[in-house]
Structure 1
């Protein structure tokens, strides 16, 4: 029974590490420069494949954002069921917001196609509608989705810190990085900063922590806790 539990924990660690890396990669691949540019109404329809590819990778992020806390739940619930369940809930919420972000992206593509048909006619209408959709997409992607997933990360990282399932320095790094990422989203929400260098700098610590945590989980797995030692005895 103990060997089966250990093997299950090892599998969860490796799969979590893989999903963390997958989340980082798909997050980078989901960026759609043509939508973020000034002439998105003209260029989006002309670069439809870029937009659709970004939407695909953004959808694939759901696997990571929802899968990570679910994979960790059997391990973490042994130590703090409430926080582990909260982490799963925030992960699912993040997945829902990702879907909303993808829908908004596809709506922007549709508007770009319609704009290409009418040309200069009703240009102000399309600019207003497109601007609102882009604003909504930014809020969904960089505030709602980010806050939900980072809160999920904060909760399971706090359990890591309590139990020493991973090294304390790695947990502290994750808690600090999560806090900075939450701060970045809140500052962006109130328009104190934009999607600029300041926003990126605040999110860099958690991105690197995810990468290091992923490598650690794949290579080392979870550190046995005192609770596990008692069971062994």
Structure 2
């Protein structure tokens, strides 16, 4: 039981660390219309964004790894799926990290090019920015959401946490996926009020879940299968 509480506390802490890193990984300069002109002067902002997104890789995988031994007691198949999607998401995180320094190279080339030689760089920059948006806000979010859907299904079925909190997570995941498909279909842009509003319920649920895991943990006795875990830990 003590091992289970330690795992949930660490998992809750990793959620908070990941949320902070996620907020700091946003690079506002890349949302500006003339961002190629601004990139050289905002090198630190881009590098900080890359480092913070890199930090999200161990926090995301660590969250799944710490909870996997508990979740697999309830459903081994769903818990493996949850872990698998987290690993897939980590790959997209890594791609996002790699893409950011390319903007520095492109910005430097843009600054050195003459006025008549920048059109191809602008086209390349737009392709690079679109690729980053599709990686971070479509591929990454959808893979995370599919894994989280399995995660909340386990929690809803097991009652490890209150069902209303699990249901909130399932609804939030559905909204987050819909926002990603809107970006994919060009119905919405990233980092816009409508995009942020659609993702807000899941973000708020994540904060509440983190606090719950840190302060209360999983109620494994609420599940018949979960009682097996208590028997092993005591």
TM-score range normalised by the length of the shorter chain? over 0.9
Counterpart of 1:3 in structure 2 is: none
Task: Single out whichever of 130-139 and 99-108 deviates more from structure 2.
Answer: 99-108
How far 1:194 sits from its partner (Å)? 1.6
**For residues 144-197 of structure 1, what are the alpha-carbon distances to aligned partners after superposition, in whole Å with 9 as ceiling and x for unaligned?**
111111221111111000000111110010000011101110111111222222
From 204, 208, 211, the equivalent of 1:208 is 204
Which runs of at least 4 in structure 1 moved beyond 4 Å after TM superposition? Answer: none
Counterpart of 1:167 in structure 2 is: 162
How far 1:203 sits from its partner (Å)? 0.3
* Partner SS, residue 77 of structure 1: helix
**For residues 176-231 of structure 1, what are the alpha-carbon distances to aligned partners after superposition, in whole Å with 9 as ceiling and x for unaligned?**
00111011101111112222222111100000000000000000011123334466
Taking the TM superposition and a 5 Å limit, the aligned residue runs for 1:27-176 are 27-176=22-171
- Structure 1, unaligned runs of 5 or more: 1-5
The answer to whether the 8 A contact 1:69-1:156 is kept is no
Q: Distance in 1 between matches of 2:113 and 2:84?
A: 44
Q: Distance in 2 between matches of 1:227 and 1:133?
A: 48
The answer to whether the 8 A contact 1:97-1:144 is kept is yes
- Structure 2, unaligned runs of 5 or more: none
Normalized against structure 2, the TM-score is what? 0.94
Q: Distance in 2 between matches of 1:91 and 1:36?
A: 27
Q: Distance in 2 between matches of 1:84 and 1:224?
A: 15
How far 1:39 sits from its partner (Å)? 1.4
Q: Distance in 2 between matches of 1:128 and 1:161?
A: 47
Q: Distance in 2 between matches of 1:52 and 1:99?
A: 14
The answer to whether the 8 A contact 2:73-2:225 is kept is no
Q: Distance in 2 between matches of 1:208 and 1:92?
A: 23
Using CA pairs under 8 Å that are at least 6 residues apart, name the structure with larger relative contact order, 1 or 2: 2
From 10, 14, 30, the equivalent of 1:15 is 10
The answer to whether the 8 A contact 1:87-1:156 is kept is yes
Counterpart of 1:217 in structure 2 is: 213
Kindly report the root-mean-square deviation, in angstroms, between the aligned alpha carbons of the 2 structures: 1.4
Normalized against structure 1, the TM-score is what? 0.94
Q: Distance in 2 between matches of 1:117 and 1:186?
A: 37
Q: Distance in 1 between matches of 2:12 and 2:90?
A: 19
Counterpart of 2:172 in structure 1 is: 177
* Residues matched between the structures, number: 228
How far 1:17 sits from its partner (Å)? 0.2
**For residues 65-121 of structure 1, what are the alpha-carbon distances to aligned partners after superposition, in whole Å with 9 as ceiling and x for unaligned?**
222112111000111011100111110111100111111111111100111112424
